[in-house]
Amino acid sequence: MKEQAIDARVIGSTVKIEICRKVEVKYRRSDKDSYSEIYARALEDSVRDVELTEHDYEEIAAEVSKNRAKRAAKRAAAHTKK
């Protein structure tokens, strides 16, 4: 089973189809690109000039730490089921 990256967040949102199509037209580089790649590329482009503060990095580190703990708990639970 593939584990989610601990430094990533799953997001979901309802977006108008027209906006989705525009994003897909602008950010698709290959017919093989997944929607995840396309939308990640669009998000990365939209924040290219944004600078994070020390507080922002602390918040990121806290979320990564929380995700690491969740992963460890999930692994432990899977191990005890065997």
The angle that helices 35-46 and 17-27 make with each other, rounded to 10 degrees, is: 90
Spell out the per-residue pLDDT of the chain, length 82, in tens. Answer: 688 899 999 999 999 999 999 999 999 999 999 999 999 999 999 999 999 999 999 999 999 999 999 999 999 988 887 6
pTM for this predicted structure: 0.78
pLDDT at res. 78: 86
- The domain spans of the chain are 1-49, 51-82
